[in-house]
Amino acid sequence: MKINQSQGTETGPALPPEIELGAPVLTPPGPATGNDRRLSGAIILGVPIVLVVVTFLFWYQTWFGRRLSESELREYLEDTSVPHKTQHALTQAVEEILRHDPAVERVYPQIVTLAGNKEPGLRAMAAWVMGQDNKSREFHTALLRLVEDPQPAVRWNAALGLARFGDATGEPQLRLMLRPFDFRAPQAGTISFEVKDSDPVRSGSVVARIKTQAADVLDLRSPLAGVVERRVASDGAVVAPGDLLAVISPDEQQIWEALQALSLVGKPEDLEDVERFARATNAMSDRVRQQAVLTVAAIRGRSERQSKVEGRESKAKDQAQ
């Protein structure tokens, strides 16, 4: 076909409307050459290799076992925009504390700063880290603040950490860790549950949702791992702030950690709660029962020693008069 460009008319068959002047001419492909076949094979093999490499790099970057460099450790503790990276840095800090590596103290100020972060999860993890070094005065001071935190998980981690300092300030929180948790509505709205009675829950998992009058939907997350003992509110009910929605029983790990801490700072008024776990039941493991027995003995022994000390002091005071 020829085009008469000067007059803009065709001297041959008309072009299909989709073909424009100057468009490339497409020719049928010829038989594949050896180079073509090798290129095709390389592409086929290369795609899965790239996928494997990308998957490995993602895993390597998110794997907490990967050792962070000095610069990464500091960066992840300062920049909390990617929470799992900050959690990775805190995990490495704990490992260094447990190895008694004095160099880890270089990031203590950053960990204390995290204790004031707006995210409850980071505050809770910072409290856990600070409880690992019971010789740090700055950690002790920060934990005393966190034991008054509005979030239960933060208070509980702070109480566990304070117990390692031999500080009984968090003892009331340790006692609460042994008891079923009252899960309450933070504000008014219509409740819809995501769990049923006897369902297991993880810390941070959604237990229910509240639809407010402004049509906002709030996720209500469990502050502890355990089992839904019972739902109190009904699905679709309108609730007010502070209304009891459900009762969640703590899991064995939380109970065991609280029992261990109470063996260090527990008081006679804790015995009723502790002794419930010292009795053999099908619900709890031997590990929990044995720790409860040890905790009961530790509390009673400490109380007896304290009574003797007070008795001697009282006697000495009477004799002085």
CB-CB contact of 222 with 183 (8 Å): yes
Tokens 């020829």 map to which residue? 2
Phi and psi torsions of 68, nearest 5° = -85, 145
pLDDT tens track for 257-271: 999 999 999 999 999
Phi and psi torsions of 249, nearest 5° = -85, 135
Tokens 């004095």 map to which residue? 102
Query: What's residue 171's pLDDT?
Result: 98
Spatial distance between the Cα atoms of 156 and 272, rounded to a whole number of angstroms: 20
Spatial distance between the Cα atoms of 172 and 150, rounded to a whole number of angstroms: 15
pLDDT tens track for 277-297: 998 676 789 999 999 999 999
pLDDT tens track for 145-186: 999 999 999 999 999 999 999 999 999 999 999 999 999 999
pLDDT tens track for 131-144: 999 999 999 999 99
Amino acid at 54: V
Domains of the chain by start residue, with CATH: 61-177 (1.25.10.10), 181-251 (2.40.50.100)
Amino acid at 219: D
Spatial distance between the Cα atoms of 258 and 69, rounded to a whole number of angstroms: 34
Spatial distance between the Cα atoms of 218 and 255, rounded to a whole number of angstroms: 29
Residue 42 pLDDT level (bands cut at 50, 70, 90): low
Helices of type H across the chain? 34-62, 70-78, 83-98, 108-114, 120-130, 137-146, 152-164, 171-177, 252-265, 271-278, 286-320
Query: What's residue 31's pLDDT?
Result: 59
Whether 211 has a pLDDT exceeding 70, the answer reads yes
Residue 44 pLDDT level (bands cut at 50, 70, 90): low
Query: What's residue 14's pLDDT?
Result: 43
Phi and psi torsions of 225, nearest 5° = -90, 140
Which residue in 209, 129, 261, 285 sits closest to 273, CA to CA?
Answer: 261
